[in-house]
Copies of this chain bind each other. A is one copy, B any other.
Amino acid sequence: MGRGKIEIKKIENNTNRQVTFCKRRNGLFKKAYELSLLCDAEVACIVFSTRGRVYEFANNHMKSTIDKYKMATSNAPNTNSVQEINAQFYQQESKKLRQQIQMRQSTNRHLMGDGLDSLNVKELKQLETRLEKAISRVRSKKHDMILAETESLQKREIELEHYNVFLRSKITENERVQQHAVDAAGQQYNAIEEYLARSALQLNIMGSLEDTPSAYSLPINKSLHLG
C-alpha cells in the first residue's frame, strides 16, 4: 500500500524513517483500537522511537493490562516484584530494629534509675552491681584524666618557674649591661662633650641598647611551646 512496494528493512533516510514511524505508529494504534472494540479484547501497545521517546496505546489502563499480563505469564512465584520483596524485607527489618530499640531503651532506663517497678530485688541488686562497676570505671577514668591533667599542669608550672628564673637572670643581666652602657655613655659624653657640644651621637647609642633584648626572645618562645 502506498505509491510503491517497499522492502521491510530499516529505512536509512532519517527523515523518511521519522515520517514513516509517525504514520505507521498511528496506524498500529488505530488497528489496536479497532481490534479491542470489534473483538472485545484487551489490547496494549508500547512503542519506543529510536531516540527513546515512548508512545502507548491501551484500551484499558496500561498498568492494569501489564499487571494482568504478568499474572498470566508467571505461574512461577517470581510474580513478586523486586520492590515488593524489598518492601517485605525492610518492613521486617524495621520491626526487628524497633524491638531492639525497645530493649535497649528499657535497659537504658534501668541504668538511668527509671522504670524500676518491673524489677524484683534480685534484679535490682544486679543492676546496682552493674552501676557500681560503671561508676567505678567512670571515676577511675576521670581520676586518670584529672591526674594526667594535673601532671601536665605541674610540668607546666615547673617550666614556667624555670622560665621565670631565666627571665629574672636576663633582667639582672640587662640592668647590668644597661648600667655599663649608661656608665660608658656618661664617660663618652663627658669626653666628647668638650669637642662636639651640639652632636646627636648619644641618641644612636640609646637606640642600640633598646635592640639588645630581642636577641633573647626567640629561645624564650620556643621553651613556651614545649610546655
Chain B residues with CB below 8 A from A101, complex form: 97, 100-101, 104
Let me know if A41 and B32 touch, CB within 8 A: no
Q: Is the interface of A mostly helix, strand, loop or mixed?
A: helix
Interface of chain A residues 37 through 53 with chain B (CB within 8 A): 37-50, 52
CB of A196 closer than 8 Å to a CB of B: no
CA distance in complex: A52, B6 (Å) = 36
Best-surrounded residue of A39, A42, A101 (most CB of chain B within 10 A):
A39
Let me know if B113 and A112 touch, CB within 8 A: no
Q: How many copies does the complex hold?
A: 2
CA distance in complex: A111, B100 (Å) = 17
Q: Which of B38, B56, B73, B134 contacts A24, CB < 8 Å?
A: B38
Q: Contacts A44-B45, A45-B32 given: A38-B66 contact, CB under 8 Å?
A: no
Report how many residues on chain A are interfacial, defined by Cβ distance under 8 Å.
87
Chain B residues with CB below 8 A from A41, complex form: 21, 25, 47-50
CA distance in complex: A8, B33 (Å) = 9
Mind listing 17 A-B residue pairs with CB under 8 Å? Answer: A8-B37, A9-B37, A9-B38, A10-B37, A10-B39, A28-B28, A39-B50, A42-B48, A48-B69, A56-B69, A86-B90, A104-B105, A111-B134, A116-B141, A119-B141, A127-B138, A132-B135
Q: A66-B70, A94-B94, A114-B137 are in contact. List 20 more A-B contacts (CB 8 A).
A: A6-B38, A8-B33, A8-B34, A8-B38, A10-B37, A11-B38, A11-B39, A35-B47, A42-B47, A44-B47, A52-B72, A54-B72, A54-B73, A87-B87, A101-B101, A112-B134, A116-B141, A119-B141, A121-B145, A131-B138
